[in-house]
A and B are shown apart, each in its own frame.
Chain A
Amino acid sequence: AQKVTQAQTEISVVEKEDVTLDCVYETRDTTYYLFWYKQPPSGELVFLIRRNSFDEQNEISGRYSWNFQKSTSSFNFTITASQVVDSAVYFCALSEASSYGGNQGNLIFGKGTKLSVKP
């Protein structure tokens, strides 16, 4: 069975601190996709990143970086020099591969980590 665990329910940091959000996943598939979404207080879901299981390269996008390690089934998300606008709930999600080769649409979400960045 597939499962995504975000062990940190809430994290509070002071602006400019670095913060890492943990994500551990379980799947029997050899091909799968991992995602991070941001949900700001306004409620919409904002896509941040998609990673394929066959691509273990870490990725950096501005202040955001992601560390994908298949050996530990983890896909952690780090925000460098956090800002108040980073305050949100962050979701990690997992998807199987579809028969077409892309990700199947079903997403298995973790329960989310609420990040509060204080000025």
Chain B
Amino acid sequence: NAGVTQTPKFQVLKTGQSMTLQCAQDMNHEYMSWYRQDPGMGLRLIHYSVGAGITDQGEVPNGYNVSRSTTEDFPLRLLSAAPSQTSVYFCASSSQTGRGTEAFFGQGTRLTVV
């Protein structure tokens, strides 16, 4: 009964370092997405995917890459971390069939770039 699993939960990076935030879901959901949450800004969409092999940009995509090779996994890559990417990152998945469902969110990854 895992739902959406994000790793790691916490991470500190130095400016210029790269890393990958992992996201996996076990609900066979077609749709997966990444959001970032900044104080006073709510959650903003970074990238999303409507199925394996299909990704697209959201509201704030710069500095991030994604790929979707399987239905289960949707990793988010920071190629060269910047202090402006300090944030809490949430991965979400949802089903696109039927009358629709809520988005299921992971526990979040708190990233600090120094």
Contact = CB atoms under 8 A, between A and B. Distances in A.
A74 interface: no
Contacts of B40: 9, 111
Contacts of A47: 102-104
Interface stretch (B13-21, B43-51, B65-73, B77-85): B43-51
A65 to B, nearest CB: 18
A85 B13 CA distance: 34
Contacts of A107: 33, 35, 43, 45, 92, 103
A105 B33 contact: yes
A108 to B, nearest CB: 8
Interface in A36-57: 37, 43-45, 47, 50, 52
B53 interface: no
Contacts, number: 78
A98 B105 contact: no
A75 interface: no
A77 interface: no
Given A102-B97, A103-B94, A35 B107 contact: no
Nearest to A107: B103
Interface in A64-119: 91, 93, 95, 97-98, 100-112
Interface of A: 9, 33, 35, 37, 43-45, 47, 50, 52, 91, 93, 95, 97-98, 100-112
